[in-house]
Structure 1
Amino acid sequence: MSSINPKWIYLLVLSLIWGSSFILIKKALLGLTPYQLGALRVIITGLFLFAMGYKTLKTIKSSDWKWLIISGILGSFIPAFFFAIAETQIDSAVVSVLNSLVPLNTILLGFTIFKITSTKRQILGVIIGFIGTTILILKGANLNPHQNYFYAIFVILSTLMYAANVNIIKKHLQHVKPLTIATGNFVVIFIPALVILVSSDFFSLRTLENPNFKMAMIYITILAFFGTALAKILFNKLVHTSTPVFASSVTFIMPIVALLWGYMDGERFSVVQGAASIIILFGVYMSHKKIPKTGLKQL
């Protein structure tokens, strides 16, 4: 009996971790501003990664640093703030649903900019997943008519950045180890995040005396370690062992996890959203690309 392909394990674990990240952001925002949350997420994650991977930095070639800088900014730095800003106005589950645009953008950017081709089956899978995502968005809007969906632009922009990042890793950093990529990313963005934190009034009595401050710090620490540090390493492994489209398909399963967390936290969830979740899972299955028997290498 053949063993399970590791990329499916990475996909499942990442879906559970990242699907839980949205509720952690929501809870942390009770005691922190979006800018404090984004900065702390980067700083705490950076400390974890430096402890684990600082020795790997010496293996990075000078020619790779350009792509590591771009990857760090697009894949970690800006989205850390954008998602926090979005969740000040939109339910955590809805934000996770909007995040499902990543695979579609991965195909579009991969084809137009990075010249990475995708199969018809992958494209069909993304379309099916996008249909499921659209149903979730529309139903969420009906259930939450008073939410400001203008803030969805922050999530949409983040999906474009994530899509660019996954293609950059696949095309320009394929030879760099996952832990090295993650550590190099945060070497670049650590200082800017520290500057933002200091200028965000984080050390004032108003922030420190907030009754939700201690729990917010616990939530952001969990988010930084699991949702960013560990997840970044696992995601880089997934990109290395699969296609960019398959790797980005993690965003199809994440909303299901996030919707369950949201439901337990009092966010509304309907039967239609459950049906849409099944459609999304089918889209993930369709986007899976098997290695041809001829031995041709996957892109």
Structure 2
Amino acid sequence: MSGAASSASAPASAAKPWLLDFVLLSAIWGASFLFMRVATVEFGALPTAALRVAIAALFLLPLLLWRGLGPDLLKHWKAVLVVGVLNSGIPFACFSFALLSITTGLSAILNATVPLFGAIVAWLWLKDRPHGSRIVGLAVGFVGVAMLAWDKASFKPDASGIAPGWAVLACLVATLCYGISASYAKRYLSGLPPLVTATGSQVGATLGLALPALWFWPAQAPSLQAWGALIAVGVLCTGVAYILYFRLIEHAGPARALAVTFVVPVFAVIYGALLLGEAVTGWMLLCGAVIVAGTALSTGLVKLWR
């Protein structure tokens, strides 16, 4: 993620394209929960996750080869494949499983804890110790997670056959994996072109999920709608989204790119309510606000007055 070294403030002339990339990426990643929900009902959790990364890999590989970055991928293939399992394979499988039981909006709100877990892992692993507002943010963020999880703490199966508590836990495992992979990439893949990391991670996730996906492949052929959702989440929400994300880092800086995580739940909640008829409760919105506030503080995007 060498693009993170670029200036955190975009010039005034680039403000408009930066804002467009920000809003577009937020909308695309918000839609990923909708597409995964549609696909996982027919494919199941593991096949959905495996096909998502396989489609993304097929989309990104030609771009990688066209840029002449194949040798870089071969040189760092072990570390890149590990990132793929941690950053895509396990999280996508966990979210696919969770979406069988909980709403897309709730999943997206829990996904907003990624920078929170990233800060914790960086503290413990890279010794990037938070101070002041960041410590307060960690506490506030975890209070928000506890409030939200408490509301879904039942481990009794619901109509889907899956207990909401396990679904929430799966989302948190996914966000923890995102946090671990970020520190792993910073330690072992610094300076590597972003397209190499993005492409190699999808290949690694595909290899890691291939056998489990075949084992749990659905007995009944999925519909064209489910296949369409998978193609959309693979090409648009993974392949194109990675390109937008790294371009946003390059043009606007990592701090503003990180703020996308806070806007994604807004789009996910809107998509879920309008297209899937999902209920949006006041408690869910309150907990989401607490989580976003805590995450913004813990990442240093917002600081308390002295």
How does the TM-score come out when normalised to structure 1?
0.77
> CA 1:12/1:141 → structure 2, altered by over 3 Å: closer, same or farther?
farther
Match of 2:96 in 1: 84
Are 2:38 and 1:24 aligned? no
The SS at the match of 2:179 is: helix
Aligned partners of 1:182 and 1:252: how far apart in 2? 22
- The structure 2 residue matched to 1:207, chosen from 220, 224, 227, is 220
Are 2:149 and 1:109 aligned? no
> CA 1:271/1:90 → structure 2, altered by over 3 Å: closer, same or farther?
closer
Match of 2:176 in 1: 160
The SS at the match of 1:217 is: helix
Aligned pairs for 1:170-189 within 5 A: 170-189=186-205
Letter in 1 for 2:78: K
Aligned partners of 1:30 and 1:218: how far apart in 2? 13
Q: Pairwise CA RMSD of aligned residues? A: 3.4
Q: How many residues align?
A: 280
CA offset at residue 13 of structure 1? 3.7
Match of 1:231 in 2: 241
> CA 1:38/1:288 → structure 2, altered by over 3 Å: closer, same or farther?
closer
Aligned partners of 2:270 and 2:152: how far apart in 1? 14
Structure 2: give runs of 5+ residues left out of the alignment: 1-9, 302-306
Encode CA deviations 1:64-107: one digit per residue, 9 max, x unaligned.
33321221110011222121112222222222222232222111
Match of 1:49 in 2: 60
The SS at the match of 2:64 is: helix
Aligned partners of 1:87 and 1:183: how far apart in 2? 25
Letter in 1 for 2:108: S
Letter in 2 for 1:66: K
Aligned pairs for 1:135-154 within 5 A: 135-138=147-150, 146=158, 148-154=164-170
CA offset at residue 216 of structure 1? 0.3
Aligned partners of 1:124 and 1:61: how far apart in 2? 42
**Residue pair 1:129, 1:284 contacting (<8 A) in 2 also:** yes
Structure 1: give runs of 5+ residues left out of the alignment: 291-299
**Percent sequence identity over aligned pairs:** 25
> CA 1:126/1:237 → structure 2, altered by over 3 Å: closer, same or farther?
farther
> CA 1:267/1:187 → structure 2, altered by over 3 Å: closer, same or farther?
closer
Are 2:267 and 1:257 aligned? yes
Aligned partners of 1:171 and 1:12: how far apart in 2? 30
Structure 1, 110-119 or 25-34: larger mean CA deviation: 110-119
- The structure 1 residue matched to 2:49, chosen from 38, 45, 48, is 38
Aligned partners of 1:53 and 1:277: how far apart in 2? 37
CA offset at residue 109 of structure 1? 0.6
Structure 1, 281-290 or 9-18: larger mean CA deviation: 281-290
> CA 1:280/1:238 → structure 2, altered by over 3 Å: closer, same or farther?
farther
Match of 1:95 in 2: 107
The SS at the match of 1:29 is: helix
Letter in 1 for 2:236: F
How does the TM-score come out when normalised to structure 2?
0.76
Structure 1, 95-104 or 233-242: larger mean CA deviation: 233-242
**Residue pair 1:100, 1:130 contacting (<8 A) in 2 also:** no
**Residue pair 2:137, 2:296 contacting (<8 A) in 1 also:** yes
Are 2:180 and 1:169 aligned? no
CA offset at residue 127 of structure 1? 4.4
**Residue pair 1:29, 1:37 contacting (<8 A) in 2 also:** yes
Letter in 2 for 1:35: L
